[in-house]
């Protein structure tokens, strides 16, 4: 089964980036015990002051979909929505690299 990955570029409403980052870090902490979540990385943009990039890698797409259905995830999304001006998702297929828990299929 193929791994699933995505970048999500969140643009926060002015002044709300830190509050949004805190919610995303909570989501990362919630993903800590979830074995199928191999990476949930929260980065601030250096050059765009309202932007946060989240990069996720999952063992398979179904595990990602299942995470979105959890009550904790839905509650976090509800809290985050008022802070968000826009989201650009970038759907990805991991082919390899250094630093994941398990090797992607391309390795």
Distance of closest approach, residue 60 Cβ to its own copies, in angstroms: 14
Cβ contacts of residue 94 below 8 Å, gap of 6+? 3, 5, 57, 100, 104, 105, 106
Tokens of 6: 């995505």
Q: Which is nearer to its own copies, 35 or 78 (CB)?
A: 35
Q: Which of 58, 57, 42 is nearest to 9 (CA)?
A: 42
* 70, 97 contact by CB (below 8 A): no
- Contact track, its own copies, 42-81, x by CB under 8 A: xxxxxx-----xxx-x------------------------
Confirm or reject binding of residue 100 to its own copies (CB under 8 A).
yes
Confirm or reject binding of residue 95 to its own copies (CB under 8 A).
yes
Q: Which residues bind its own copies (CB under 8 A)?
A: 5, 7, 21, 25, 28-29, 31-32, 37-47, 53-55, 57, 90-101, 106-107
């Amino acid at each position: 089964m193929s791994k699933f990955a995505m970048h999500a570029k969140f643009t926060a409403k002015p002044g709300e980036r830190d509050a949004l980052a805190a919610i995303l870090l909570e989501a990362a902490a919630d993903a800590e015990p979830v074995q199928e979540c191999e990476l949930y990385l929260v980065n601030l943009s250096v050059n765009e002051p309202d932007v946060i990039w989240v990069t996720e890698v999952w063992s398979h797409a179904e595990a990602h979909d299942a995470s979105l259905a959890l009550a904790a995830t839905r509650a976090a999304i509800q809290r985050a929505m008022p802070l968000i001006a826009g989201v650009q998702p970038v759907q990805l297929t991991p082919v390899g690299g250094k630093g994941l828990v398990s090797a992607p299929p391309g390795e």
